[in-house]
Amino acid sequence: MTSATLTLSARPRLQAWSATALASATTFWFVATVIGQCIFAVYILALYGGSAVRGNFKGWNHVMTHGHVPGDTAGNLVTGAHLLLAMLIMLGGALQLVPQVRRRAPVFHRWNGRVYLTGAVVAALSGLYMVWLRGAVGDMAQHLGTSLNAVLVLLFAGLALWRALQRDFAAHNRWALRLFLAVSGVWFFRVGLMFWIAIHGGPSGFNPDTFTGPFLSFLSYAQYLLPLAVLQLYLLCRAHGGTTARFGMTALLVLCSVAMSIGIFVATIGMWLPSIKW
């Protein structure tokens, strides 16, 4: 048997291995993301929900600037709605991406999708209100980055809904994935920040007292643009990529997932758990 024949016979196996590797890397990323977002949702419920149940609304100011302002009823209601929706969409968004849920529970998928889309839109609008009218930590670069994130959420939500109404479900799924990543921007920011602090052994590239600096300005945009760029590469690889592209995409996903897992662990131990008061 010639070397050319051996090479040809090995191609199907390499193609199968690359497809399996990419699927496994995707599952790794998804599981890590769901675990991290569930922990974040519990943190929101325990810290902000627990403070509200106890009547200690000043507890909202523990980690949020202007979380509760005495006398500002409208602003406090907007903030409360934003926090509640953040918790709900963190839990509901992941369920929308599970293929088994879409196949076996289509009615639930549709209604959960409606709730998710509505929640994402309201959370984006309330987030814009909180940044520009309520007051938020950070500088103008961070505020603009956060605002662009909100605009993308509104855009992706509209496109996901439009494609669903057209019954173009392949395009709908792609826009739904983009929406999920854009909605998760606030979570990616925290995970990315904790990963950065972990690898540098402390704050680097920003002032922790003023919460400003070049790294935070960069992260305000990277929190959603980087995940969206990786998603676009994944979609292109899945549609047109060969064996080499799939192995390369697998390596990129694994690298991102490991970095994200480190950030989730550090955020959980150093930021979320210590702030929870039941």
pLDDT at 2 over 60: no
For residues 167 and 157, give the distance between their C-alpha atoms in angstroms, rounded to a whole number.
15
Residue 278's pLDDT band, with cuts at 50, 70 and 90, is low
- The domain ranges of the chain are 32-275
- Of the ranges 20-24, 47-51, 119-123, 266-270, which one carries the lowest mean pLDDT score? 47-51
Q: pLDDT (tens digit, 9 = 90+) per residue, 167-203? A: 999 999 999 999 999 999 999 999 999 999 999 999 9
Tokens describing residue 130: 């909180």
Residue 10's pLDDT band, with cuts at 50, 70 and 90, is low
Q: pLDDT (tens digit, 9 = 90+) per residue, 66-82? A: 677 777 778 888 888 88
pTM for the model stands at 0.90
For residues 51 and 32, give the distance between their C-alpha atoms in angstroms, rounded to a whole number.
28
For residues 60 and 57, give the distance between their C-alpha atoms in angstroms, rounded to a whole number.
6
| Residue carrying the six token digits 């149940």 | 53
Output the average pLDDT for the chain: 88
CA angle 19, 22, 28 (to 5 degrees): 140
For residues 233 and 22, give the distance between their C-alpha atoms in angstroms, rounded to a whole number.
12
Q: State the average pLDDT over residues 8-19.
A: 78
Using the CB atoms, write b or e for 258-275: b if 16+ within 10 Å.
ebbbebbbbbbeebbeee
Percent over 70 (pLDDT), the chain: 95
Question: Long-range contacts made by residues 233-242, C-beta under 8 angstroms, separation at least 24?
Answer: 234/26, 235/174, 235/177, 237/22, 238/22, 242/15
pLDDT at 7 over 60: no
DSSP alpha helices (H): ranges in 45-139?
A: 50-53, 73-96, 99-104, 106-129
